[in-house]
């Protein structure tokens, strides 16, 4: 596809009507929490935007993030927007392989130095474990540092890139680190999720194309627009939580009636993501709607927070061992003190001088 | 500890284990210590059932004492309100029931959250009022030690952080929950070594008073 085409032109070439495009812009404005009157501005900016060069690096990941974006069942405008960015390097999607693929990356870096968007999915081994993951003989860390240098924006897609994800989970055999740790000091937008919602990825790209910068971020560098509210607060099952109606197993009456899944380990109360509002598969459903608690996949270290089926209020350690240890130690110390006390009492009684009538008589 | 999730994992995991171990260590030590003291054998003839007297007193002293209400109505009412509010929050909020179920394997029905909300506010307002009363009442102030104020603050914190976690007064939610659990762990650790121990010792004291009085044929 011609790289000089604007986004508007290439969308029209693909048969997207002006009405359809404006509808997308209005939806994007609403998703980004902007006023409806911003829609024309988004439309104007997107129309004029040259197709930005995007280099997509995949490190220690499962390709689920790419699958999430590309496996929409119907061609969507989000999908088209993705098609119309100039995806110059992406292992899974590019046709080229071997040297040609690496040349494509180098060429994109040279031609668009300072202007391309770098998208990373997957965590990467730290310096000590460089050999665990290489591409074309280059360690992930070296490739990331080299590619990040000329990037206008860096987006960590998926929980692995954002926080380490599965490779980072205990015992972390490869010494995996998230992108932010590999690039200290660089501003990075995290779009976590396992995988993230496709609309969120395109929303962030649309924001970049419209405003030339990145959206407002939270403390974990996630766009506030999509990660500003917890699953729990936007969950349609929340009224059951407040009424005290919970499913206690996956096939009890509560589960069949669609009651709250908190007791089955739902991590909705601590998870910030847009699943409850945007949903998945073109708004068809989302995990809680399909009867399973939220896993908390857009939060750091969600693999290691004590089990997917353990309620958030429940302890995660071996409490019975700690309790037995405490109780036995308490009983032992108390018994020891008791024995010592009795002995002292007995000694005092032994040493007690008894005074008899005879003693009194002598004096 | 670089992120809120790690903080939450720390307080739900290792710190909770430590807190429970210290709590049980202290409670069992102190109860065994009290019970091991023993009593001298009383050779006099009993004038009434000791057991009945003991249990009656344990129950009777749960009820408001008319004389005390007349003398100190404020403290009496606030004391009841705090205890009722606190125990409603502790024992009838479903996430707490789930915690207890995970610890000892028993569960019971909970209350809808608006009731818990009211109970938490009642408990917090009563505690705050009792704190102020302790500060301004000259006799009470004279008798109070650092521990008295400290315990009021710690207990207030457990309720307040729970309220804050529920209402998202603090972001992110995982930190709010972690602070709540941490404050509860602080309470568990100091529990056996402070006046909080009255939760258990009150039964021993009341039973002893009741049993002793019954033996002598008087009402306790």
Measure in Å the smallest separation between the Cα of A46 and chain B Cα atoms.
33
Convert the pLDDT of each residue in A264-284 to its tens digit. 999 999 999 999 998 988 788
Nearest CA in chain B to A304: B9
pLDDT score, position A2 = 57
pLDDT score, position A338 = 85
- Least confident among A78-82, A91-95, A154-158, B20-24: A78-82
* Number of domains into which chain A is organized: 3
Q: Which residues of A touch B30 (CB under 8 A)?
A: 334
Domain contains A109: yes
Q: Residue A101 — left, alpha, or beta (φ > 0 → left; ψ -120 to 50 → alpha)?
A: alpha
pLDDT score, position A186 = 93
- Using the Cβ of A332 and the Cβ atoms of chain B, whether some distance falls under 8 Å is answered with no
- Least confident among A21-30, A161-170, A340-349: A21-30
Residue B111: φ, ψ to 5°: -105, 155
Domain contains A354: no
| Residues 145-184 (B) with a CB less than 8 A from some CB of A | 168, 172-174, 177
Which of A220, A246, A263 minimises the CB distance to B3?
A: A220
Asked if A281 and A68 touch (Cβ cutoff 8 Å), the reply is no
pLDDT score, position A147 = 95
My answer on whether A252 and A194 are in the same domain is no
My answer on whether A209 and A76 are in the same domain is yes
pLDDT score, position B30 = 93
My answer on whether A78 and A223 are in the same domain is yes
My answer on whether A72 and A184 are in the same domain is yes
CB atoms under 10 Å from CB of B180, counted, come to 23
What's the predicted TM-score (pTM) here? 0.87
Domain contains A115: yes
My answer on whether A193 and A137 are in the same domain is yes
Strands A176-177 and A138-139: unpaired
- Return the ∠ at Cα A303 (arms to A301 and A306), rounded to 5°: 100
Does pLDDT of A244 surpass 90? yes
Going by CATH, does the domain composed of B47-216 fall within 1.10.287?
Answer: no
My answer on whether A156 and A173 are in the same domain is yes
My answer on whether A264 and A332 are in the same domain is no
Convert the pLDDT of each residue in A69-107 to its tens digit. 776 544 455 565 666 677 788 877 777 888 888 888 898
- Using the Cβ of B91 and the Cβ atoms of chain A, whether some distance falls under 8 Å is answered with no
My answer on whether A171 and A248 are in the same domain is no
Convert the pLDDT of each residue in B175-199 to its tens digit. 999 999 999 999 999 999 999 999 9
Does pLDDT of A351 surpass 90? no
| Residues 209-238 (A) with a CB less than 8 A from some CB of B | 218-220, 230, 232-233
pLDDT score, position A21 = 77
CB pairs under 8 A between A and B: 147
| Average pLDDT score, chain A | 87
- Least confident among A84-88, A305-309, B16-20, B109-113: A84-88
- Using the Cβ of A9 and the Cβ atoms of chain B, whether some distance falls under 8 Å is answered with no
Question: Does B172 sit within 8 Å of A270, measured CB to CB?
Answer: yes
My answer on whether A79 and A163 are in the same domain is yes
Mutate to test the interface with B, among A234, A334, A335, A338 (most CBs of B within 10 A): A334
Question: Does A230 sit within 8 Å of B33, measured CB to CB?
Answer: no
pLDDT score, position A80 = 55
Give me the CATH number covering residue A282. Answer: 4.10.480.10
Which residues lie below 8 Å from residue B79, measured CB to CB, with a gap of 6+? Answer: B126, B130
Asked if B54 and B208 touch (Cβ cutoff 8 Å), the reply is yes
Does pLDDT of A363 surpass 60? no
When pLDDT is cut at 50, 70 and 90, the band that residue B44 belongs to is confident
pLDDT score, position A324 = 94
Domain contains A217: yes
CB atoms under 10 Å from CB of A182, counted, come to 22
My answer on whether A256 and A183 are in the same domain is no
Question: Does A333 sit within 8 Å of B12, measured CB to CB?
Answer: no
Strand partners, A230: A272
Asked if A218 and A227 touch (Cβ cutoff 8 Å), the reply is yes
Does pLDDT of A40 surpass 60? yes
pLDDT score, position A74 = 47
pLDDT score, position A71 = 64
pLDDT score, position A130 = 85
| Residues 1-60 (B) with a CB less than 8 A from some CB of A | 3-6, 8-9, 12-14, 16-18, 20-33, 36-37
Convert the pLDDT of each residue in A5-22 to its tens digit. 777 777 777 777 788 778
- Least confident among A81-90, A151-160, A261-270, B12-21: A81-90
- E-state strands within A60-210: 86-89, 116-121, 124-125, 134-135, 138-139, 151-157, 176-177, 188-191
Which of B25, B26, B102 minimises the CB distance to A315?
A: B102
My answer on whether A81 and A206 are in the same domain is yes
What residue spans define the domains of chain B?
47-216
Torsion over CA of B84, B90, B94 and B99, rounded to 10 degrees?
Answer: -160
Give me the CATH number covering residue A140. Answer: 3.40.50.700
User: B105: which DSSP letter?
Assistant: S
pLDDT score, position A81 = 60
- Give the three-state DSSP class for A216: coil
My answer on whether A258 and A327 are in the same domain is no
Q: Which residues span the domain enclosing A271?
A: 231-304
The DSSP code sequence of A291-339 is T-----TTSTTGGGSS-TTS-TTS--S-HHHHHHHHHHHHHHHHHHHHH
Domain contains A146: yes
């Amino acid at each position: 596809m011609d790289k000089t085409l604007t986004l508007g032109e290439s969308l029209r070439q693909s048969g997207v009507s002006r009405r359809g495009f404006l509808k997308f812009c209005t939806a994007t404005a609403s998703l980004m929490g902007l006023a409806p009157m911003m829609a024309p501005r988004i439309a104007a900016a997107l129309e004029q935007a040259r197709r930005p060069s995007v280099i997509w690096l995949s490190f220690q990941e499962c390709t689920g993030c790419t699958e999430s974006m590309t496996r929409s069942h119907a061609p969507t405008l989000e999908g088209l927007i993705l098609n119309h960015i100039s995806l110059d390097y992406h292992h899974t999607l590019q046709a080229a392989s071997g040297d040609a693929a690496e040349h494509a990356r180098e060429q994109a870096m040279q031609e668009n130095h300072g202007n391309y968007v770098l998208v990373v999915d997957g965590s990467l081994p730290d310096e000590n474990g460089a050999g665990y993951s290489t591409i074309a003989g280059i360690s992930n860390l070296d490739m990331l540092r080299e590619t990040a240098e000329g990037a206008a924006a860096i987006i960590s897609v998926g929980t692995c890139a954002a926080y380490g994800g599965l490779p980072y989970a205990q015992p972390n055999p490869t010494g995996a680190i998230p992108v932010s740790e590999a690039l200290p000091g660089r501003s990075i937008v995290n779009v976590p999720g396992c995988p993230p919602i496709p609309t969120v990825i395109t929303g962030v790209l649309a924001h970049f194309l419209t405003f030339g910068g990145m959206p407002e971020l939270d403390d974990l560098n996630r766009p506030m627009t999509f990660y500003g509210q917890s699953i729990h607060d936007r969950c349609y099952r929340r009224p059951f939580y407040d009424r005290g109606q919970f499913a206690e197993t996956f096939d009890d009456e509560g589960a069949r009636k669609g009651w709250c899944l908190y007791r089955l380990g739902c991590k909705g109360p601590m998870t910030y993501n847009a699943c409850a509002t945007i949903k998945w598969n073109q708004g068809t459903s989302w995990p809680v709607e399909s009867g399973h608690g939220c896993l908390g996949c857009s939060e750091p270290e969600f693999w290691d927070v004590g089990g997917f089926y353990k309620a958030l209020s429940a302890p995660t350690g071996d409490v019975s061992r700690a309790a037995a240890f405490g109780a036995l130690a308490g009983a032992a110390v108390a018994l020891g003190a008791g024995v010592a006390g009795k002995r002292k009492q007995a000694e005092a009684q032994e040493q007690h001088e008894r005074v008899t009538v005879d003693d009194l008589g002598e004096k | 500890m670089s992120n809120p999730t790690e903080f939450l994992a720390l307080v739900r995991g290792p710190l909770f284990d430590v807190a429970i171990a210290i709590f049980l260590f202290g409670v069992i030590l102190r109860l065994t210590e009290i019970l091991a003291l023993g009593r001298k054998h009383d050779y006099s003839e009993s004038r009434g059932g000791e057991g009945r007297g003991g249990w009656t007193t344990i129950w009777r002293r749960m009820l408001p004492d008319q004389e005390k209400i007349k003398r100190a109505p404020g403290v009496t009412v606030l004391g009841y309100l705090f205890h009722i509010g606190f125990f409603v929050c502790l024992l009838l909020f479903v996430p707490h029931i789930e915690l207890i179920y995970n610890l000892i394997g028993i569960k019971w029905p909970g209350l809808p959250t608006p009731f818990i909300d009211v109970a938490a506010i009642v408990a917090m307002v009563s505690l705050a009022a009792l704190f102020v009363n302790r500060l301004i009442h000259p006799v009470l102030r004279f008798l109070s030690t650092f521990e008295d104020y400290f315990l009021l603050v710690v207990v207030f914190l457990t309720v307040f952080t729970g309220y804050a976690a529920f209402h998202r007064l603090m972001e992110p939610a995982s930190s709010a929950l972690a602070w709540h659990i941490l404050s509860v762990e602080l309470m568990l650790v100091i529990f056996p070594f402070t006046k909080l121990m009255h939760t258990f010792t009150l039964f021993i004291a009341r039973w002893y008073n009741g049993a002793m009085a019954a033996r002598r044929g008087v009402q306790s």
